[in-house]
Amino acid sequence: MQKIHQPGLTPPLEKLNHALTGGAAKVIPEHPPDASSKKFYTALADVMPVGVFYTDASCNCQYINQRLSQMIGMTLEAAMGGGWLKGLYPEDRDRVAHEWLHAIDREIPFESEFRLQRQDGSITWVFGQAIAEGSGKDKIYIGTVTDISNHKSIEQALQQSETNFRAIFEKAAVGFSYSDLEGKIFLVNQKYADTLGYTTAELTSMRLQDITYPPDRNNDDSYFRQLLAGKIANYSIEKRFLRRDGSHIWVNLTMAPIQIDSSGTQYFISSIQDISDRKRADDAMRQQFEREQLVGAITRRVRKSLELEQILATTVEQARQVLQADRVLVCKIARSGTGLVVAESVSNPWNSLLNTYFSAEAIPPECLQSYLEGHITYITDRKSDPILPCMSELMAKLQVEAILAVPIIQENESLWGLLIAHQCSRSRDWQAWEVTLQLQLADQLAIATKQSELYQQLQLELNERKRAEEQLRQTNDRLAVTNIELARATRLKDEFLANMSHELRTPLNAILGMSEGLLEEGYAPLVEKQKKAINTIAKSGNHLLELINDILDLAKIEAGKLDLQIASVRLERLCDTSMTFIKQQAQKKNITLTTKISGDSEPVFMDERRMRQVLINLLSNAVKFTNEGGSVTLEVSLDKAKREINFNVIDTGIGIASKDIKKLFEAFVQIDSSLSRRHDGTGLGLALVRRIVEMHGGKVSVESEVGQGSKFQVNIPWWQSSQMKLDLLASEHHRYHHYKVAMIGDSEQELDALSWHLADMGIRSVSYCDMGKAWHGLLQLDVDLVVMNIRSLSQNHLKMLSHIQSNPHTNYIPLLIISSIEEQKQLAALLQFHPSVEYLARPFLEWQVCEAVNRIKNAERSVHLAPKHNHPCLSVLIAQESDTNVAAIANHLQAFDDRYQIVQARTGQRAIELARCLNPPLILLDMQIPEMDGLAVISHLREIPELDTARIIAISSINARGDRERCLRSGANEYFTKPVMLKSLLSVMGRLLHTPHSS
């Protein structure tokens, strides 16, 4: 048999191949098994789940079963001899050949793991083993090949898992460690070492107890015992560990049991995660929560309670607990600088300071001023901090090492007191949150103190009001009695007038009737002398009847018993009938009578009888007081624009002196002069005229000059139909079609009601309850009227009115102020120089609003119709009690420059309030102003930062030595003594207003 040669085989395989091909003929047994026996063993081998083979002594394959044939992907014939070597994975061939020869040479069993590769490229991991049978030339090798692919996959997966775990363990962002039952550490990752500041080598020589913060060493004992007992699978807690530098660190520790070998020994794996930042954040949040809880509790107590003593006691107690201070107290500061401890919370063993009085020397003026400006006192160590000697001595006396004092400043920027924290046992570096807490508490205490003061003031006012109400009740009781008596007197007067009307008219009727009969000579002829006597009787009787009628009519009007009978009237007829009554009287004096009626001849509505009475009275007086040869004219016109009927009675008579005009319309009053006394009269005619005209809703006036005649004017509303009000509203809709009104107030409900009233007149309106939005709206809109509905006058209302007056876009707009009478008095000084202001007192009715708007619309004021200025207004505050002086300065100043807006303050305190509100560039101050010394007013004004650039002119009536220097030193810019030359004053004012401020 030829030697098999396969090119490309490595030396071990060539050696094995030589052994396989070298004496192949010699291994053929001389006595092969019989056929039946061979068939049995072949069948047995083919059903085995492992590969079976045997070779001769030279390693030539003699047999493989079907399982091995499947593994190597070749038939028995292909595997015979050395063919089976092709079934080995190329990378494993050298190793397997080496191991096989090694086993043959040493005559030991062959065992090896290697890979088989089929022709399709698939690979199978197998475990091969073979043993020798026989000896010499009869030796054969029988072996098996077992598929271990699944085992190898599991083994590789385990290896990969271990590699991955090692990478995770070493690179994890969490610290890991292994320890035994005694807590000894035998393995840690780098993160664990870095977290604690040790090296891994240092930690593996330590126990967990060695790195645990001493106070926390027993924190997880109960958990660890449950872990050992199997009651829990793991546990996680927060605790502190010691770092190598001695500091401690907060970590989240997780512990779980684990077995890492087959000995049954129990180990523990633990992880730690640094949570120091979170713990610090939690502490900060907890402190913030405690502060907010404290401030919220104090705030709620302030809102619910008016007991200042209780609020102060609660505040200092809770503040001391949160701050962990030795003492917290509230010291009330008087204006003199003295102090009194009014609330305190102190811990043992420190002495109480409650009710302790501190003299003014304890708080130096510079400290007091610092507190007034809102600064705090912050002392961490009295022995090392730079502080005033008096403060150091006081702290030493009170055994205080550190102090934190915060001022309690009320809304009027006055210092009420101090909220003070003491640390007595040691020095203390006060934290920012502690200062913030004290400031917040001080703000709440400022509200509480102001609230308490207002409550006390309210109690006093309530007591005063109760006394006033009691007095009012008593007055009302007396008035009730008086009213009963007045009602009785009125009833008696009515009865008297009725009786008088009857008793007087009855005999007069007889006198006049008989006189008329006698004059007609019904009884007997009369001689001329008798006729003259009877004429005198008749004339006197008629005069007496007129007097009685006037008295009764006036009494009815005063008692409200006279009703107007409104009906359609033609003016021509009214004038003609009125003139008829005076024609005879005028003819006797040769007086010319003239009637002039202008406008359309159309009916109007009025009480014809009463208006005739008015005209007859006026015409009779005109004829009576006009000399012979004079003239009397009745002019009538219809004013459609104003919807008025105008009656003018003009005479060329004796005239009336201006000082006597105001007496004309008073009942039973006649002008007492030599001229007037020559004419008879009762003095009731013009009084009746005024009453009747007013009942028609009109007015009567007079223009006269002595020796030049008189002109009486009667103006009444012009109604064209019986539906008077409907006609009025219709006309108002047309009149106010383009009229726009801005309404500002505190009550949205009341503004809505006002809007409906104005809408009935055809007026468009916009409402604002927010002052900021209102001001923005006034600047954006072009309005014709501003209505301010004030329920309770406040600084916001004053500021809004000040803005309206001082801004060139709004200072021309008319104002309608709806408020109480007391508030109107307060606003009078602020608005006295506004071009158009109307006031309406509460409570008011719908028609009163309409009338007020009508008055504003019809007012003969040109100021609000002037074009807007293109240059800003200059507010000037005049602090002067005398209205006359202020008016003189205002008139000259506004004539000099119409940009000036003048505001008057009659007291020193009011001057300070208005200056703070208006921030005027110029202030004229009378040094003798009521309530405050002028120098004190200047000092207060100079303490207001917003008035730093304001110019102050001091005006004094005291021309004493040094007075000028004192005023200028206090902060005045200029000084004048009374009497002041207005020209000089205006010159200085102009210079100050237009000269840049120099600080």
User: In this predicted structure, what is the pLDDT of residue 557?
Assistant: 63
**Rounded percentage of the chain residues whose pLDDT exceeds 70:** 80
The larger pLDDT score, comparing residue 380 to residue 280, is at 380
Mean pLDDT value across residues 440-456? 85
Tokens coding 667 = 């009942």
Nearest CA to 877 out of 968, 955, 984, 966 is that of 955
Tokens of 708: 């030049």
Which of 490, 481, 485, 496 lies closest to 560, judged by CA?
490
Tell me which of 233 and 513 has the higher pLDDT. 233
Higher pLDDT, 613 or 595: 595
Q: Kindly report which listed range (40-49, 228-237, 280-289, 943-952) carries the lowest average pLDDT score.
A: 40-49
* Residue 729 pLDDT grade (very low, low, confident, very high; cuts 50, 70, 90): very low
649 and 614 Cβ atoms separated by less than 8 Å:
no
DSSP string, 262-290: TT---EEEEEEEE-HHHHHHHHHHHHHHH
Model-wide pTM > 0.85: no
Cβ distance 116 to 146 under 8 Å? Answer: no
Tell me which DSSP letter residue 88 carries.
B
Distance between CA atoms of residues 976 and 954, nearest Å = 6
Which distant-in-sequence residues (6+ apart) come within 8 Å of 848 by Cβ? 840
Q: Return the structure tokens found at 233.
A: 């699978």
pLDDT at 896 exceeding the cut of 60: no
Strand pairing partners for 421? 328, 404
Burial of 264 by CB count in 10 Å (0-12 exposed, 13-18 middle, 19+ buried)?
A: exposed
Report how far residue 316's alpha carbon sits from residue 297's, in angstroms, rounded to the nearest whole number: 13
Rounded to 10 deg, the angle between the 528-559 and 685-695 helix axes is 40
- Under 8 Å between Cβ of 23 and 60: no
Per-residue model confidence (pLDDT) at position 953: 92
**3 state DSSP class of 731:** helix
State which of 213-227, 625-639, 757-771 shows the largest mean pLDDT. Answer: 625-639
Give the pLDDT confidence score for residue 994 in this predicted structure.
63
Structure tokens at 401: 């090492």
* pLDDT attached to residue 695: 83
What backbone phi and psi angles, to 5 degrees, belong to 194? -65, -40
- The pLDDT, as a whole number, for residue 154 is 80
The model's pLDDT over 513-543, given as tens digits with 9 standing for 90+, comes to: 677 667 767 567 888 888 888 887 877 777 6
**Residue 603 burial (CB < 10 Å; 0-12/13-18/19+)?**
exposed
Query: Worst-scoring range by mean pLDDT, 13-17, 173-177, 205-209, 701-705?
Result: 13-17
Which among 472-481, 663-672, 933-942 has the top mean pLDDT? 933-942
| Cβ atoms 238, 247 nearer than 8 A | no
pLDDT at 629 over 80: yes
**What per-residue confidence (pLDDT) applies to 544?**
73
Choice among 184-193, 220-229, 237-246, 509-518 with the minimum mean pLDDT: 509-518
Ramachandran region of residue 655, left (φ > 0), alpha (ψ -120 to 50) or beta? Answer: left
* 617: Cβ contacts below 8 Å, ≥ 6 apart: 685, 686, 688, 689
Q: What is the pLDDT of residue 682?
A: 53
Helix (H, G, I), strand (E, B) or coil at 31: coil
pLDDT at 730: 40
Residue 50 CA to residue 71 CA, distance in Å, equals 10
Q: pLDDT by residue (tens digit) across 779-815? A: 877 788 999 988 888 888 888 888 888 777 787 788 9
DSSP character string of 511-550: HHHHHHHHHTTSSS---HHHHHHHHHHHHHHHHHHHHHHH
According to the model, what pLDDT value does residue 493 have?
A: 67
E-assigned strand segments in 314-381: 327-333, 339-346, 357-358, 377-379
- pLDDT the model gives residue 675: 42
Q: What span, in angstroms and rounded, lies between the C-alpha atoms of 120 and 71?
A: 12
CA 134, CA 27: separation in Å to the nearest integer? 12
Rounded to whole angstroms, the Cα distance separating 21 from 970 reads: 133
Place of tokens 């199978």: 124
Asked if 801 and 788 count as a contact pair (C-beta separation under 8 A), the reply is yes
Cβ(719)–Cβ(604) below 8 Å = yes
Average of per-residue pLDDT values in the chain: 79
Distance from C-alpha of 906 to C-alpha of 889, rounded to nearest angstrom: 15
Give me the pLDDT at residue 560, please: 56
What is the band of 564 on the pLDDT scale with cuts at 50, 70, 90?
confident
Q: What is the model's pLDDT at position 869?
A: 41
- CA 452, 453, 457, 463 dihedral sign is positive
Segment 254-259 shows an average pLDDT of 85
3-state secondary structure of 505: helix
| pLDDT value at residue 711 | 93
* Alpha carbons 308 and 310: distance in angstroms, whole number: 5
Residue spans of beta strands (DSSP E) within 842-920: 874-879, 900-905
Give strand pairing partners of 413. Answer: none
Segment 39-80, tens digit of pLDDT:
666 777 777 788 898 888 777 888 888 888 888 888 888 888
pLDDT-wise least confident of 560-569, 685-694, 710-719: 560-569
Per-position b or e across 820-855, b if 16+ CB within 10 A of its CB: eeebbeebebbbebbbbbbbbeeeeeeeebbebbee
CA–centroid distance for 807 within its chain? 25
Q: What is the DSSP string of 822-835?
A: HHHHHHHHHHTTSS
Q: Helix (H, G, I), strand (E, B), or coil: what is residue 84?
A: helix
pLDDT, tens only, 110-121: 999 999 988 888
Whole-angstrom distance, CA of residue 614 vs CA of residue 690: 8
pLDDT-based confidence at residue 677 (cuts at 50, 70, 90): very low
**Residue pointed to by tokens 């403060």:** 391
Distance (Å, whole) CA 715 – CA 713:
7
Whole-number Å distance between alpha carbons of 638 and 626: 27
φ, ψ for residue 368, nearest 5 deg = -60, -40
CB distance 879 to 937 below 8 Å: yes
The pLDDT-based confidence of 510 (bands split at 50, 70, 90) is: low
Residue 997's pLDDT is 47
Measured distance CA(929)–CA(910) in Å, rounded:
10
Average pLDDT of span 253-257: 89
- Taking the C-alpha atoms of residue 445 and residue 418, their distance in angstroms, rounded to an integer, is 10
Tokens at 861, concatenated: 């004021």
Q: What is the mean pLDDT of residues 12-29?
A: 41
Chain centroid to Cα 153, Å, comes to 74
Quick one: pLDDT band at residue 135, thresholds 50, 70, 90? confident
Mean pLDDT check: name the lowest of 220-224, 350-354, 590-594: 220-224
Instruction: Cite the DSSP H helix spans in 129-275.
Output: 149-171, 190-196, 200-203, 221-228
For residues 818-822, give the mean pLDDT.
Answer: 85
Rg of the Cα atoms in the chain: 60
Give the separation between CA 192 and CA 178, rounded to whole angstroms: 11
Whether the upstream peptide bond of residue 29 has omega within 30° of 0, thus cis, is: no
- What pLDDT shows up at residue 431? 86
List strands edge to edge, sheet with 709-717: 592-597, 631-639, 644-651, 709-717, 699-705
The encoded tokens of residue 99 equal 């191991």
